[in-house]
Chains A and B, each alone.
Chain A
Amino acid sequence: MAHDPPTSQPPGNGPAAKGNGASRTAARRAAFLCVFLFVWGGGTLLFADFLWRTGLYGLKYGILALQALLFALIAFVFCTVLFGFLAIRLGRSAPEKPVGPSLATSSPLAPTAVVFPIHDEDVAGVLARVEAIWRSLQRTGLENGFHIFLLSDSLEPARWIEEEIVWFHVARRLRAVGHVHYRHRPVNTGMKAGNLTDFLEHWGRAYRYMIVLDADSLMSGGRMVELVRRMEEHPEIGILQTVPGAIRARSVYARAQQFVIRLYGPLVTAGMDFWQAGDAFYFGHNAIVRVQPFMAHCRLPRLPWREPLGGQIFSHDFVEAALMRRAGWEVRVARELDGSYEETPANMVESLRRHRRWCQGSLQHFWLLFSRELPLVSRTHFLLGILTYISSPLWLLFLIFSTLVVVQFKNAGLTFVATSGFTPLANFSLAAHGALLYGLCLLLLFTPRALSLADLLCNPMRRHLFRGGVRTTASVVLGSLFSVLEAPLFMLWHSFFVMAMLFGKGVAWGVQNRAQDQSLAWQAAARSHGWMTLIGVAWTALALAVDPHFGYSMLPVLAPLILSIPLNVFFSSVPVGDRLRRAGLLQTPEETNPPQEIRDFEAAEKRIRGRLDRINGNAFLQAIVEPYVNALHGELQRQPYATDEYRRPPVDERLVRQLLREGSGALSRAQLFDLLLDGAACRKAYLQLWRTPDAELAPEWCAAIAAYAPNRQPALLRED
């Protein structure tokens, strides 16, 4: 295979999509736009006519404007899935330059770094993924081309030590110490994007490709090899994104999400792929990146003004894709590749935390909409991201305006008189007109699901993996019901996020709870959703008081608000989720036929959790009391990386004395962190601890030393 020399310039002249390919892409975009405009324009006109028939005035102009905006989003999703369905069924899903199957070859691969940026994550989960990936790579026989990097930004001292312990354990167990690396960054400059930038600036030049994974990502070795080969065969591609399937969900909510992603995902991606071609999106994980152009073109700009609306970019992935495109490199989606996975949040509360970050990141992209240097498609991605969140307050406003119109009408005491519509040929009655509008909305909202189901039913293999047509149909109905119940809750939450951000209340780069086996307690649900119940009750009372018919028509929106607390508890329920699984509902192919990587991951996770259970108390203590953990930590602080600008002045010896005398609880997290950063101080603390009589030590140290009774050795690092 001919390897192009590494370069920061794309092959050929400038942007890759040129010539016939470019005209085909333009034709596809034109076709998509025409259908979209037809659906959007038709629906909006129908609605405008409906309003006009009962008198278009004041508030109704506002409603019409909002409807036009919101209907655009629905029409866009509908068209995307429609084109995706047609592309798949007609076998024209591949863009003009297919990122098709690569040549099967056993030649050595270009050096590739597999990076896991982590920030106070569940250590067992992350390292179990590393182990499963490495074993999967070993099965390909091409593991020598890969280096796995755990890029830790952890700030919790105990978590940091756990990471070191488990990294060493896993790397030694896999006999991959030179291939599975661990780096801890003491300063979290630039959040996740900064973590990756730091990696690239220290080791990037040693690799041609970088496969970026999230803490909850999993990818098969075969797919990694495939990604590298495709990048070698298509030197014009800068980023190749896979479409990760969701796995390991247990709660009702997570299972529904997992099912939706797995069933509808292929059509949505195919639809997007139809018009995006080489201008695709980048999720920031489960993707392969060509390192050199990325380093040459993808340093994130600083946005105008300040956080949360401006300043440092929060959601880096779309921006990096746009910068790559600006430099002429393609960003593509390898949508037909399986073996790429991620996990979904276990409940709505966790999901909302994630959405709040995404909301902030997406709204920040507003500043980039006006840059003519960025491709139009990339700016369309930004716009879609913004609309995803802005649409919620717009829906809310739409509903408020609708309520006000009814109130206004009732107070006016007028009689309802409808004029004729704009289509004399059809000559609808007002009721028929309304039913037509309602039907159109339902059609647009539910057709994507119906098409996804139809696509599945046409494919016997997929049908089998989803546990058959009947169960899948039942699952689609169930999933749709859940979506209807969730939608009003998300509407209010997103509206809150948008307003909070506009008033300068941003979110910090927090730690994510990715545990899949925790149901939400009633108290937690009440704390987070109590206000929503109050709004729901008040709104329903108002609507019913004004006009019972209107009140009943609003119930699909208002009832979920009233029931938000029990709904949250129900959606987060793991036992119910397990029962659904046993019934074969919301089933995904990875559950029907778990791939080897998932089985390896689950076995490794169980084993690593058992090892972490051996830690006697806080893992931080082990860095001081356990001779080998102390040695390992001290050595890691001497690694070449630790000699750069992140170095801090040595800690005061008084701090060590205080630590031993009063215990780790007497020191702040920052002080413990600084102590761990100072390898020499840790060595001294270790010797000092063992030399100090019990009477002068804090009880936790006495307990830690007493744990070393014969035959009770907590072998944290050694193999059993």
Chain B
Amino acid sequence: MARINDVIPAGLTAEEWDAAYRRVWAYLTALGVRHEFQLHLLVQQVMERCAVRLSAGPAQHAVQVATDETERLVLDWFQAVLGIAPSDVAAIGDPAQLSLRGRLAMLLADMPAPEHNGIFLSDPPWPEAFVRLVRASYVEAVPALRLGQVTSPPLALGLVPQLADRALRTMDRLRWLRVLLLWGLFAAFFGFVFWLTR
């Protein structure tokens, strides 16, 4: 068995390499790769690519490089399964957008459902039914818009609300008047109670 230090690219500590390894493992698990042997193979593949990139000198953290390599592996697979031509990939521009589209297609095709397990991130050829399903899937959270307006003819509230509105707005403007009226009301109420209790 090879010594650990033989596997780790020069300039990296075992902890850094281990962190990258665990991150790739977690990411592939999060994506839904369930079979452990497949996970091992994929992680190994990614880590080999990672080692090649880092052998030139660790310009980036191993976790970053390892995740980028994993994402590249995943994007390449999405592109192939979804049948997106390289020119269209360039048109999409943002790799995050392709990643989202791919994940969404997998989700809608119920990936990785048990019957599809093992297909995800595997080499072609893939079952035709699976490819059809993945390419046809889309989310329709809402139906097509049918724009319109909710309206109502103006409603005349009558004279009392009009006058009350004007009076209340006047009181809003003239705070002293409001305070005066409030105290006046209090005084009137207690005066009334006093009168009643005589």
Contacts and interface: CB of A to CB of B under 8 A. Distances in A.
Contacts of B111: 718
A635 B139 contact: yes
Interface string B170-198: 00100000000000000000000101111
Contact of B100 (A61, A203, A635, A694): A635
Contacts of A692: 63-64
Contacts of A705: 23, 26, 30
Contacts of B157: 301, 303-304, 367-368, 370-371
A634 B99 CA distance: 11
Contact of A181 (B100, B113, B141): B141
Contact of A631 (B26, B34, B103, B147): B103
B143 A295 contact: no
Interface in A385-442: 401, 404, 408
A202 B146 contact: yes
Nearest to A690: B67
B197 A203 contact: no
A631 B143 contact: no
A206 B27 CA distance: 43
A693 B26 CA distance: 13
A625 B107 CA distance: 15
A713 B25 CA distance: 12
A631 B146 contact: no
A718 B147 contact: no
A282 B12 CA distance: 71
B112 to A, nearest CB: 8
Contacts of B147: 201-202, 205
B30 A625 contact: yes
Contact of A687 (B39, B71, B149, B152): B71
B159 A693 contact: no
B161 A304 contact: yes
B197 A684 contact: no
Interface in A653-705: 680, 683-684, 686-687, 690-694, 705
Given A147-B143, A200-B148, A305-B169, A717 B107 contact: yes
Contacts, number: 206
Contact of B150 (A177, A298, A372, A719): A298
Interface stretch (A32-40, A330-338, A343-351, A636-644): A636-644
Given A304-B168, A631-B103, A636 B141 contact: yes
Contacts of A631: 99-100, 103-104, 107
A706 interface: yes
B31 interface: yes
B2 interface: no
Given A205-B146, A718-B113, A370 B197 contact: no
Contacts of A19: none
A321 B164 CA distance: 25
A367 B160 CA distance: 8
A204 B160 CA distance: 36
Interface in A280-328: 294-301, 303-306, 310, 323, 326
Given A631-B107, A635-B139, A691 B19 contact: no
Contacts of A167: 141
Contact of A640 (B96, B106, B113, B144): B144
B153 A297 contact: yes
B106 A628 contact: yes
A691 B97 contact: no
A182 interface: yes
B4 interface: no
Contacts of B153: 297
Contacts of B62: 693
Most buried by A among B36, B149, B150: B150
A62 interface: yes
Contacts of A61: 196
A373 interface: yes
A201 B150 contact: yes
A566 interface: no
Contacts of B155: 301, 323, 326, 371, 373-374
A425 to B, nearest CB: 33
User: Interface size class for chain B?
Assistant: 35 or more
Interface in B36-82: 36, 39, 61-64, 67-68, 71
Interface residues of A, number: 79
A5 interface: no
A718 B142 contact: no
A578 interface: no
Contacts of B165: 304-305, 310
A59 interface: yes
A641 B144 CA distance: 9
Contacts of A626: 30
B13 interface: no
Contacts of B112: 718
Contacts of B143: 147, 178, 181, 203, 206
Given A181-B142, A203-B142, A304-B164, A59 B196 contact: yes
A683 B100 contact: yes
B104 A635 contact: yes
Contacts of A641: 142, 145
A632 interface: yes
Interface string B80-92: 0000000000000
Interface string A93-114: 0000000000000000000000
B56 to A, nearest CB: 19
A639 B172 CA distance: 44
Contacts of A310: 165, 168
Contacts of A149: 142
A62 B196 contact: yes
Given A201-B148, A305-B168, A706 B26 contact: yes
A309 to B, nearest CB: 8
B29 interface: yes
Contact of B141 (A183, A200, A296, A401): A183
A114 to B, nearest CB: 13
Contacts of B156: 371-373
A58 interface: yes
Interface string A587-604: 000000000000000000
B197 A632 contact: no
User: What 4 pairs between A and B have smallest CB-CB spacing?
Assistant: A304-B165, A370-B158, A631-B103, A299-B152
Interface of B: 19, 23, 25-27, 29-32, 34, 36, 39, 61-64, 67-68, 71, 94, 96-97, 99-100, 103-104, 106-107, 110-113, 139-162, 164-165, 168-169, 172, 193, 195-198
14 contacts: A296-B151, A304-B162, A304-B164, A371-B157, A372-B156, A631-B99, A632-B104, A641-B145, A693-B19, A693-B61, A705-B23, A705-B30, A709-B29, A715-B32
Interface of A: 58-59, 61-62, 147, 149, 167, 172, 177-178, 181-183, 197, 200-206, 294-301, 303-306, 310, 323, 326, 367-368, 370-374, 401, 404, 408, 625-628, 630-632, 634-636, 639-641, 680, 683-684, 686-687, 690-694, 705-706, 708-710, 713, 715, 717-719
